Amino acid sequence: MLNPVLVGILFAAVAMILNSCGALLQAAGARRATRARPAAIQPRYLAGMLLDLVAWGCAVMALRVLPVFAVQAVIGGTIALTALVSARLIGARLPMSTRLAVTGCLAGLVLVAASAGSEQPPVHRPGVDVVLLASLLLLAVAVLILRQGKHAWPLAVVSGLGFGGGAVSVRAAHVQTGEGLDVGLLLGQPSTYLVVGFWLVGMVGYTAALSRGDVGAVTAVFTVTEVLLPGMVGIWLLGDPVRPGWGWVLALGLAAALAGTVVIAKAPPLRPRRTR
C-alpha cells in the first residue's frame, strides 16, 4: 500500500506542472484580450483556467494528508518551470541573475517542504472560520482597488494570498471533518464555502497581474506569496506540524525563497533574441 505522504507529494507535483501550463496559457489569453473580447472568453485563457481547476483538485487531495506549507512549497516549483518554458517559447535567454534567483527560490521551497512533520496531527481551533472570513473580505477590497492601478506585483501578491487562503480553507475543512471523507460534514463547514471566495479573489488578481507584467515575474511573486504567509497561517491557525528541531531549516528556506522572488520580480521583461 502506498504511503499517504508520498501520494500527497505526487498529487502536489502534478498540481505544480498543471499550474505552470495554466499560467502560460492564461498569460497568452490575457495579452490577447480587448474590450470586445475580454480575457474571460479567450480560448487560451479558458484552457488555462481548466488546467488550474484540475491542479486545484490535485492540491485538495494533497492537503488531506500534508500541511499547507508543504503542499504549497511543492507547487512552488511552478516558478522554475514557468520561467524556463516562457523563455524558451519567446526565444529569450534568462539572465544569470534570474537563473540564480530561480535556483534560490527552488532551494528555499525544498527546505520548506522538507521541514514538514507528520508526528503531530493538526487540530481544530475555535475562531478559524472568522479569521478566514475577515481575511477574504480584506483581500476582496484590496484586489478591487489594485485593479485600478498599472503595477503587476501588488496584484500578484493579493492573488497569491487569495489562492493560499483557499488552501488554508481546504485544510481547515478536512481538519474539522476528520480523516474520513464525509460529504455531508464537508458541506456543513463554513470553510468549504470560503474556498470559493478565496479562489475568485485569487483568479481576478492573477488575471489582472498577467495583463500588466511578465508571466515569469508574476508567477514567481504569486507562487512564493502563496507558500509563505498561508503556510505560516496553517502552522499558527491549524497546528500544522513542523519537524522537531527543523524550525531553523524552515526559516532559512523562507528567507531564500523570498530573496529569490525579489530578484525575479525586479528583473526586466524577457525579450526575444535578435536574429541577424
**For 102-111, how does the pLDDT look when each residue is reduced to its tens digit (9 = 90+)?**
888 888 888 8
Inside any domain, residue 133: yes
Nearest to 72 by CA among 268, 224, 188: 224
Is residue 271, in this structure, part of any structural domain at all? no
More confident residue, 39 or 18: 18
Residue 183 has pLDDT above 70, yes or no: no
Mean pLDDT of 5-12: 83
Q: Work out the mean pLDDT of the chain and round it to a whole number.
A: 80
Domain range for 180 is: 4-266
Q: Please indicate, yes or no, if residue 212 is contained in any of the structural domains.
A: yes
At 29, is the pLDDT very low, low, confident or very high (cuts 50, 70, 90)? confident
Give every CB contact of residue 115 below 8 A, 6+ residues apart in sequence. Answer: 242, 243, 246, 247, 249, 250, 253
Distance CA 263, CA 224 (A): 12
Coil/strand/helix, residue 190: helix
Whole-Å CA distances, 207 to 131, 135, 216? 26, 20, 14
Asked whether residue 261 is assigned to any structural domain, the reply reads yes
Region 82-89: mean pLDDT is 77
What confidence score (pLDDT) does residue 176 get?
58
Q: Which three cell numbers stand for residue 183?
A: 460529504
C-alpha to C-alpha distances, 156 to 47, 76, 83, 95, 213, nearest whole angstrom: 20, 14, 15, 22, 9
Model confidence at 270: pLDDT above 90: no
Inter-residue contact 224 to 104 (CB < 8 Å): no
Cα–Cα distance, 256 to 230 (Å, whole number)? 17
The answer to whether the CB of 56 falls within 8 A of the CB of 2 is no
Task: Spell out a b/e string for 204-232, using b for 16 or more CB atoms within 10 Å of the CB, else e.
Answer: bbbbbbbbbbbbbbbbbbbbbbbbbbbbb
Categorize the per-residue pLDDT at 121 as very low, low, confident or very high, splitting at 50, 70 and 90.
low
Per-residue model confidence (pLDDT) at position 177: 54
- Decide if 273 is inside a domain: no
Name the more confident of 160 and 114: 160
Question: Does residue 61 sit within a domain?
Answer: yes
Written as nine digits, the cell of 201 is 479573489
Work out the average pLDDT over 12-36. 82
Query: Is residue 55 one of the residues assigned to a domain?
Result: yes
What is the number of structural domains in the chain? 1
Q: What residues does 116 pair with on adjacent strands?
A: 242
User: What's residue 71's pLDDT?
Assistant: 83
Alpha-carbon gap, residue 240 to 116, rounded angstroms: 8
pLDDT surpassing 60 at residue 120: no
pLDDT at 53 over 80: yes
CA–CA gap between residue 168 and residue 180 (Å, rounded): 18
pLDDT digits (tens, 9 = 90+) for 151-168: 888 999 999 999 888 888
What span, in angstroms and rounded, lies between the C-alpha atoms of 182 and 70? Answer: 24
Alpha-helical segments (H) within the chain = 4-31, 43-63, 68-75, 78-89, 96-114, 128-146, 153-177, 183-187, 190-210, 215-238, 247-266
Per residue in 202-242, pLDDT (tens digit) is: 989 988 888 888 777 787 788 778 877 777 887 777 777 78
What is residue 119's predicted lDDT score, i.e. its pLDDT? 55
Find the mean pLDDT for residues 87-92: 76
pLDDT at 145 over 90: yes
Domain annotation covers residue 59: yes
